[in-house]
Every structure is written in C-alpha cells, then in structure tokens.
Amino acid sequence: MTKFLAEIDVMPKKEILDPQGKAVTGSMKNLGLSEIQNIRIGKHISLEIDAENAEIANEKVEKACTSLLANLIMESYTFTVKAV
C-alpha cells in the first residue's frame, strides 16, 4: 500500500452564475483592486488515500468526486494525485 495525496478543485460551471464570486469582485473595487475581474469561488479539497498504485488511487478519487464531493449538475472538478 502506498500513500497518495490528492488535490481536488471543485468549481461552479462556466454557464452558472456564481453570486459569491460576483460579490467579491465588487468588493475588490473598494480595496483599490478594480483591475481584478471575473472572480469565481469554488472548493479546494485535499485528502490522503491508501492504494496499491496510482491508477487505483485515481479511480477512488474519481468515485469520491462524482458521488460526494461535486454536484455534477452545477459543478465541475479537476484533480491531481501524487505519491507521498
């Protein structure tokens, strides 16, 4: 068994309005950072996983994303897995 570390990003899909990001974009102006635009806010998830090899670790992370971590109707996800 090898220990792997997965880093997952879950973001609202492009075509979906992100009200939290819109609100923070507005706040940037008040901070004098009006050159910052198009903020989108999602989740970053890190986790450890025990698996025989990287391929199995990838499968398990994929299953975790589709069944629990991301709502695939509104969100998309990307992840990386590396041995530690």
Which residues contact a second copy by CB under 8 A? 9-11, 21, 24-25, 27-28, 31, 33, 35-51, 60-61, 63-64, 67-69
CB of 73 vs a second copy, minimal distance in Å: 19
Query: Per residue in 21-35, is it b (16+ CB within 10 Å) or e — as a string?
Result: beeebeeeeeeeeee
CB of 76 vs a second copy, minimal distance in Å: 12
CB of 21 vs a second copy, minimal distance in Å: 8
Q: Say which residues have a Cβ less than 8 Å from residue 80's Cβ, sequence separation at least 6.
A: 6, 7
